Chain A
Amino acid sequence: MKNNLDKSIIIQEALKELPSPARRLFLKRTLTLGGLSLLTGCTVSDEESAERMLMKISRFNDDVQAWLFDPNKLAPTYPESMITKPFPFNAYYERDKIPQVNGDEYLLEVSGLVADKHSWSLGELYQLPQTSQVTRHICVEGWSAIGKWGGVTFSTFLKRIGADLSAKYVGFKCADDYYVSIDMPTALHAQTLLTFTYDGKTLPPEYGFPMKLRMPTKLGYKNPKHIVAMFVTNTYPGGYWEDKGYNWFGGS
């Protein structure tokens, strides 16, 4: 049955996989029911074709979510009394690996489809009109927590740097080697803030000093911390978790 699959197809598929040795680690594990293979007697290539199918559906789900996304719909806001204390620290590493960025030397690099590519110091960024919000952070794991972030409305910043607002993506690179990208409609959403403070104080390192892009319309892993560079592009930039299999749109 499955084992008698056309050998040439299996070889073709294996060859396709060769150029990407570091291909998604989860490949080998996604199809398994615990330790057992879900499709008994199936080969690795069966798993990988199922994997490809799942990733295709995930791309389709990106499109559906972009279509569902209403730029005028606002995430609920809460009174400050409802802020979760302490707000949880969350990253792909433990606390001892939190990057320590020197604010005095810090420069935010801006590139891609923007008119003004000069790098921004923190002093300059703090001069931009500031606002704040108390919103719910929803983690892909399911838990949620309410926090208060303050900073500049991201659309204001994008207009200030003369970004091509018809471009598809805004990408971010972070001091902790994290990287992520978002869709332009979310970047322009009224509640998408480039934040410098948490609960009225300078953003502490654990929450992303010197800045975190805060989007209450997206899951936690879409909200980059310790941003050091951003770019506007039409080329899909992916993301740290997205390249491992999380859904790219990742919006709520």
Chain B
Amino acid sequence: MVTAPDKKIIHPAWLRISHWVNLIALVIMVLSGWRIYNASPIFAFSFPKQITLGGWLGGALLWHFAAMWLTFFNGLMYLFLNIVTGRFKRKFFPLRLHDLLNDFFAALRGNLAHDKLSEYNAVQKFAYLFVIADVILLVLSGLVVWKSVQFPLLRELMGGYDNARIVHFFAMVALLGFVAVHVVMVALVPKTLLMMIRGR
């Protein structure tokens, strides 16, 4: 383990802020989204009312369509700053399939190096790129559910209005899948939580 305190900032302030804002925004989106889902369930189950946000459909919609702005602008800012600072390229690339498989099986065996916290291994690179793409898919499928007439191209890409709801749902499931793994990893390497708070 690293003994000497590393003074170097690994996560810049803008990144930490956008991470925590994103957490708040997505918690509101998911919990209110569950209440909206319950109004007309796609599958043969509903979310327990106690863990949804909004009280009733109208309240959930108010929350969902308020937090969407937070999600959208925070996400846009995250992508913009990532790209212009060169962090995106530096942190996530190159990403090679060979490395990804190697690191994935190493992780399964429990001996994936995680001590160089300033660098992502291939599994991390993939996971973070995956969740970025997933949130973009959530936004785009959500746009079709909200404005199917105004975005005809997106609507067709999603396979029509009804299908866009299904895409939106499974993109949410994928997001939860990421969060589950992410939280477990943070629990295994608690230093990363500290890093996301104070930057180093």
A residues adjacent to B (C-beta < 8 A): 26, 28-36, 38, 53-55, 57-58, 61, 65, 68-70, 73-76, 136, 138-144, 216-217, 241, 244-247, 251-252
A residues near B152, Cβ cutoff 8 Å: 73, 76
**A142-B36, A142-B145, A245-B59 given; 17 more Cβ-contact pairs under 8 Å:** A30-B59, A31-B55, A34-B50, A35-B50, A38-B53, A55-B62, A57-B65, A57-B66, A69-B150, A75-B148, A75-B149, A140-B39, A142-B42, A216-B149, A245-B62, A247-B62, A252-B150
- Assembly CA distance A245 to B58 (angstroms): 6
A residues near B39, Cβ cutoff 8 Å: 140-142
**Could you show 19 A-B contacts with beta carbons less than 8 Å apart?**
A26-B59, A31-B55, A55-B62, A58-B65, A70-B150, A73-B149, A74-B149, A138-B148, A140-B39, A141-B57, A142-B37, A142-B39, A142-B40, A241-B58, A245-B59, A247-B61, A247-B65, A252-B148, A252-B149
- Assembly CA distance A75 to B54 (angstroms): 30
Closest Cβ neighbor of A61 among chain B residues: B65
- Assembly CA distance A234 to B75 (angstroms): 38
* Of A29, A55, A68, the contact of B147 (CB 8 Å cutoff): A68
CB distance from A17 to the nearest CB of B (A): 17
- Assembly CA distance A32 to B60 (angstroms): 10
CB distance from A220 to the nearest CB of B (A): 11
Please classify the interface of chain A as helix (H, G, I), strand (E, B), loop, or mixed, using the class held by over half of its residues. Answer: loop
- Assembly CA distance A244 to B66 (angstroms): 17
B residues near A29, Cβ cutoff 8 Å: 55-56, 59
B residues near A55, Cβ cutoff 8 Å: 62
Known: A26-B56, A252-B146, A252-B149. A142 touches B165 (CB 8 A): yes
**Shortest beta-carbon contacts, A-B, top 6:** A29-B55, A34-B50, A30-B59, A245-B58, A141-B39, A141-B40
Closest Cβ neighbor of B67 among chain A residues: A57
B residues near A138, Cβ cutoff 8 Å: 148, 161
B residues near A33, Cβ cutoff 8 Å: 31, 50-53
Closest Cβ neighbor of A38 among chain B residues: B53
A residues near B55, Cβ cutoff 8 Å: 26, 28-32
CB distance from B179 to the nearest CB of A (A): 18
- Assembly CA distance A30 to B147 (angstroms): 24
